[in-house]
A = this chain, B = another copy of it.
Amino acid sequence: MKKIGIGIVGLGNIGSRLYKEIISKKKDIGLKTSTNITIAAISARNINKKRSFKVRRNIFFKNPLDITKNPKVNIVIELIGLSDGISKKIVERALKNKKHVITANKALISKHGDYLASIAEKNKVNLEFEAAVGGGIPVLRTIKDGLATNKINKIVGILNGTSNYILSEMQKTKNSFKNVLNKAQQLGFAETKPKFDLDGTDVLAKIRILSSLSFNNKISKNNCLMNGIENIELKDIDMAEKLDLRIKLLGITEIINNKLFERVHPCLIKKDNYIANIDGVMNAVILEANPVGESVLQGEGAGPGPTSSALMSDLLSILRGNIKYPFGIPFSKRKKVSSYDQNQYSNSLYLRFEVKDKPGVLSQITKQLANYNISIDRLIQIPDHKRKRASIVIITHKAKEINSSKCLKSLKSNKNVLKSPTLIRLL
């Protein structure tokens, strides 16, 4: 039985759960990997914080960087979660000191993953980050191992539990975005500062990690089509329902003509479609690959349980002595990939305009759509007589991004259009 020391940096919800998982599964891990593991070092902001277990002072380090050079530590688990700063330093130093690293940090990996992978490879240690994407869904491992040698063509995912909870809860309870967000925060499904979960940033980080694993490219730094769910109102949810559709925030990545097209935006999806029925905090990933065909993975996307499941799978992979390239193939073989011109992306669109209820407004809008070559498939006008306003919902035929963005920009300056129009793409 080989002795292995583990260092955990960060003892919040995730770190604490992981700590207990490691202790309680020690015997099982021994059976599966022929190793004898101990938690050799921990670091947390506050040693005295109330926890459900006692932090042994003899293994506590105030400065987490001390853990990265501790000879008793073979594996460092980084759970602070910053995209730079101390998180980056810990991972960097640990790898340079030939410690394996496990992290749940998608912000760090999507920003510095290439650099950190190159250090890991140079030092022949593992850099594992299963928990960074899809919570408990072992999607990275599935791409690297379970679907190894498949040519992946496209990935579509629901990758953010917070926004998925909000959208499905709005639909179920007919409560406003704001009320549902409050409820989500009370339940622990949304952070107090939920911006990155709602505006697509979190999903984009995950999509970039998925792309680089699936298409063997360096992590893209390109500008990306990214919209969040902050502008979705109950009106949109209701209208979707009437049209037998559901609104979901999707992350999508694919290769089109050898170019990478990554995007994150809400989508209207037919309600009998599989992905339209992934509700609450669940995540799901659909992979199109050859020769396997379509593969679907679904599971809980966040929280201490699922996240520690993913961290433990990383731990076992290392303990089994399975040295691997962090992104499947050597750093030097991963190519830069140019990005698909998102202006050329074309889609049917759902557009909602809030307008003054007076003659000629509808004709101004439809004329402008025609000017930009956007043709209308369906139009629904809902009056609000009291406030002398109306909502105009338009479903268009396929329209190019460049046309729709120019068109909406031009309509912003129209005084009869009361607020920035809402745009949702149809899947």
Residues of chain A whose beta carbon lies under 8 Å from any beta carbon of chain B: 17, 21, 25, 28-29, 31-32, 130, 136-138, 141-142, 145-150, 274, 277, 284, 289-300, 304-306, 308-310, 312-313, 315-317, 320-322, 324-325, 328-330, 333
Q: Are B31 and A150 in contact (CB under 8 A)?
A: no
Q: Are A150 and B309 in contact (CB under 8 A)?
A: yes
Determine the distance from Cα of A185 to Cα of B329 in the docked complex, in whole angstroms: 41
Residue among A148, A277, A322 with the highest chain B CB neighbour number at 10 A: A148
Residue from the list B31, B142, B148, B328 in contact with A142, Cβ < 8 A:
B142
Q: Are B300 and A293 in contact (CB under 8 A)?
A: yes
Q: Are A305 and B330 in contact (CB under 8 A)?
A: no
Q: Are A295 and B298 in contact (CB under 8 A)?
A: yes
Could you tell me the distance in whole angstroms from the C-beta of A325 to the nearest C-beta in chain B? 7
Q: Are B309 and A291 in contact (CB under 8 A)?
A: yes
Q: Are B292 and A300 in contact (CB under 8 A)?
A: yes
Which residues of chain B have C-beta atoms less than 8 A from A316's C-beta? 145, 148-149
Could you tell me the distance in whole angstroms from the C-beta of A2 to the nearest C-beta in chain B? 14
Residue among A21, A296, A333 with the highest chain B CB neighbour number at 10 A: A296
Q: With A292-B136, A297-B297 in contact, is A312–B149 under 8 Å at CB?
A: yes
Q: Are A145 and B149 in contact (CB under 8 A)?
A: no
Q: Are A320 and B309 in contact (CB under 8 A)?
A: no
| Chain B residue with Cβ nearest A296 | B298
Q: Are A299 and B305 in contact (CB under 8 A)?
A: no
Copies in the complex: 2
Q: With A277-B274, A297-B297, A329-B32 in contact, is A17–B148 under 8 Å at CB?
A: no
Q: Are B274 and A293 in contact (CB under 8 A)?
A: no
| Chain B residue with Cβ nearest A28 | B149
Which residues of chain B have C-beta atoms less than 8 A from A25's C-beta? 149
Could you tell me the distance in whole angstroms from the C-beta of A387 to the nearest C-beta in chain B? 38
Q: With A138-B145, A142-B138, A145-B317 in contact, is A299–B291 under 8 Å at CB?
A: no
Which residues of chain B have C-beta atoms less than 8 A from A290's C-beta? 305
12 contacts between A and B (CB under 8 A): A130-B146, A141-B142, A145-B145, A147-B309, A292-B306, A293-B299, A294-B300, A295-B298, A296-B297, A297-B298, A320-B324, A322-B322
Determine the distance from Cα of A383 to Cα of B146 in the docked complex, in whole angstroms: 53
Which residues of chain B have C-beta atoms less than 8 A from A291's C-beta? 17, 21, 136, 304-306, 308-309
Q: Are A31 and B330 in contact (CB under 8 A)?
A: yes
Residue among A141, A146, A298, A317 with the highest chain B CB neighbour number at 10 A: A146
Residue among A293, A329, A333 with the highest chain B CB neighbour number at 10 A: A293
Could you tell me the distance in whole angstroms from the C-beta of A315 to the nearest C-beta in chain B? 8
Q: Are B299 and A294 in contact (CB under 8 A)?
A: yes
Given A293-B306, A297-B297, 10 further pairs, Cβ under 8 A: A21-B149, A31-B329, A138-B146, A289-B309, A291-B306, A292-B299, A292-B305, A294-B299, A294-B300, A296-B297
| Chain B residue with Cβ nearest A25 | B149
Could you tell me the distance in whole angstroms from the C-beta of A25 to the nearest C-beta in chain B? 5
Which residues of chain B have C-beta atoms less than 8 A from A274's C-beta? 277
Q: Are B149 and A141 in contact (CB under 8 A)?
A: no
